[in-house]
Amino acid sequence: MDRTGDWRLVPACDLSFSRGPGGKNTLLIAGEARRPGRAQIDAVAAKAEIRLKRAAETVEKVDGVVAECERHAQETEVPSGLLSHIAESLVIVRCW
């Protein structure tokens, strides 16, 4: 989302699951790679001049989609081992 609140496409690597080297994300969020959380999202929003309320609403929407990840993965035949690893990672991420 840009400063005006408009969404733009990002490179697929920003949206793809990656185990990353050493368990780190390949994308830093406000300087955090291992366990970026709400504080980092809020810091990025503030820097981009996005109202924290808008950022919180966006996080809630994304969290709703993430909650459905397992169902979508099964529908698209993601291998069970990979799905299990992704699900474990998402549990950690969703612990804002």
H or E element, residue 33: none
Cβ–Cβ under 8 Å, residues 45 and 55: yes
pLDDT score recorded for residue 19: 66
Read off the pLDDT of residues 73-88 as tens digits, 9 standing for 90 and up. 889 888 988 888 888 8
Can you tell me the distance from the alpha carbon of 90 to that of 93, in angstroms, rounded to the nearest whole number?
5
Can you tell me the distance from the alpha carbon of 39 to that of 88, in angstroms, rounded to the nearest whole number?
21
Read off the pLDDT of residues 22-42 as tens digits, 9 standing for 90 and up. 666 667 788 887 777 889 989
Could you say which DSSP state residue 32 is in? B
With a cut of 60, say whether residue 43 has pLDDT above it: yes
With a cut of 60, say whether residue 15 has pLDDT above it: no
